[in-house]
Structure 1
Amino acid sequence: MLAKQAGVRRVVLTSSISAITPSPRWPSDKIKGEDCWTDIDYCKQKGLWYPLSKTLAEKAAWEFAKEKGLDVVVVNPGTVMGDIISPRLNASMVMLLRLLEGCTETYENFFMGSVHFKDVALAHILVYENKSATGRHLCVEAISHYGDFVAKVAELYPEYKVLSLPKDTQPELLREKNAAKKLMNLGLEFIPMDQIIKDAVESLKSKGFIS
């Protein structure tokens, strides 16, 4: 309420695709998007506390906004990678680092697509400045499987001998190239997966996380 009293016009909340998936009850023939929510009961049953926390936090924000009459818009980023700014790696960059080191985890419940740090930052600016922006905004360069991402890393960096994984690592997830249409309609041109990986790996090299 202090923000509203201070005259703040709009609040932009950073949520996550973890508030969209896992959602096993979602129709298998329907692409997941802003209208899809992570299944809270499923997360509790499986002990998936991170997506549970992200989902409950976003739902609480929407309830608070409705109760207090706040203008809130949400950005739901996917796996965020690219040039490293902070001294510590975020979870997404750790995932990439582990992959380069030989990890075979498929992240079945935690992957929906990659996105560059720069595009996540730009998405926040766009939804703040555009009055037409409302609701949630999926923020990924494409909806893809982790297996797609792994195959691309292996193609671009064969010297790391990335272990082969099944291509369909997210069995409940339909691929979609232009998934983030709401942000694209606001003018965001997403950096493609190839460049996301190159920027991320080269940054890991320059910062000494990998040789």
Structure 2
Amino acid sequence: MSGAEKLVCVTGASGYIASWLVKLLLQRGYAVKASVRDLTSPVTFTPTDPQAELIDPALKGTLNVLRSCAKAPPKKVVFTSSMASVLFNGKRLTPDTIVDETWFSDPDFCEKSKLWYMLSKTLAEDAAWKFAKENGIDLVTINPGLVIGPFLQPTPSMSVEIILNLINGGGQTFPNTVYRYVDVRDVALAHIQAFEAASACGRYCLVGRLAHISEALNILRELYPALSVPEKCEDDKPPMQVYQVSKERAKTLGINFTPLEVSLRDTVESFKEKGFIKI
């Protein structure tokens, strides 16, 4: 590659995934131009004003970047989406269900269910695809699940905070929830592979392991016996069903998913290193 071809722009570069992406790009010899959003406006799962706090920033931020791309078309645009824009359509999930890139969340279902974060991600990805098609932009989307693993920023991201709150709670119950875990380093690498591979196109679901939160807590209990890990579920309902997420397209990017045990261990080591827990 020439010097010009080794130049990339990373938006939201202070974020959890993007900071790892910048690190890996620099290690590969890329020159990186980075932009950041207002550091005082983090994403939330529980907005008081969903339109102003989640939906508008997601849509406007996405389209602002793509409009800039339309003026000076880059080689390729890799858009960080989410499994939130894949899964939430009201379909029944069973152990035999295989979720893949053909699935799209339904905005009406998300709105009726007050799934505001899922709605914002769904609308943003939909807008990105429409704009890219209308303006001839080569777009790829990466759709990760719950991103965990070590963090480079001084404070943990929203996804990693889920783990921190569970192990910092001191005997709290845990939610009856199934999470779609993926390591942040795998997500960052997938962005680079999608950018570099001429054949990469469309969407890529990234879920290394799908497991009930109790399974992750059991792993943490074994790794760190001194941790105060909750042992009781917050309700008496049957455990949420585990389904399947296809890894076929992720494999075409050369992604070999980091084991959940490694991701959880490295997450906790980051908490220790940055002073969020003492064990």
Give TM class, smaller chain: 0.7 to 0.9
Q: Establish whether residue 170 from structure 1 lines up as the match of residue 264 from structure 2.
A: no
**2:176–2:212 contact (8 Å) kept in structure 1:** no
TM-score by length of 1: 0.87
For residues 23 and 152 of structure 1, the distance between their equivalents in structure 2, rounded to whole angstroms, comes to 31
Q: How does 1:72-87 map to 2 (within 5 A)?
A: 72-87=139-154
Partner residue, 2:83: 17
- Structure 1, unaligned stretches of length 5 or more? none
| Matched positions, count | 205
Partner residue, 1:126: 193
For residues 179 and 248 of structure 2, the distance between their equivalents in structure 1, rounded to whole angstroms, comes to 15
Q: Establish whether residue 160 from structure 1 lines up as the match of residue 230 from structure 2.
A: no
**1:145–1:175 contact (8 Å) kept in structure 2:** no
For residues 188 and 206 of structure 1, the distance between their equivalents in structure 2, rounded to whole angstroms, comes to 28
For residues 188 and 88 of structure 2, the distance between their equivalents in structure 1, rounded to whole angstroms, comes to 24
Q: Which has the higher strand share?
A: 2
Following TM superposition, where does structure 1 have runs of at least 4 consecutive aligned residues deviating by more than 4 angstroms? none
Amino acid at match of 2:82: S
1:134 Cα deviation from its structure 2 partner: 1.2
Residues 123 and 189 of structure 1, relative CA distance in 2, 3 Å threshold: same
Match of 1:190 among 253, 257, 263: 257
Match of 1:181 among 216, 226, 248: 248
For residues 120 and 129 of structure 1, the distance between their equivalents in structure 2, rounded to whole angstroms, comes to 14
**1:142–1:180 contact (8 Å) kept in structure 2:** no
- Structure 2, unaligned stretches of length 5 or more? 1-66
SS at match of 1:93: helix
SS at match of 1:160: coil
**2:93–2:243 contact (8 Å) kept in structure 1:** no
1:105 Cα deviation from its structure 2 partner: 4.4
**2:147–2:181 contact (8 Å) kept in structure 1:** yes
Q: Establish whether residue 104 from structure 1 lines up as the match of residue 170 from structure 2.
A: no
Match of 1:40 among 95, 103, 107: 107
1:35 Cα deviation from its structure 2 partner: 1.5
For residues 212 and 85 of structure 2, the distance between their equivalents in structure 1, rounded to whole angstroms, comes to 17
Larger Rg: 2
Residues 27 and 205 of structure 1, relative CA distance in 2, 3 Å threshold: closer
Aligned-residue sequence identity (percent) comes to 37
Q: CA RMSD in A?
A: 2.1
**1:106–1:169 contact (8 Å) kept in structure 2:** no
Amino acid at match of 1:170: M
For residues 106 and 216 of structure 2, the distance between their equivalents in structure 1, rounded to whole angstroms, comes to 25
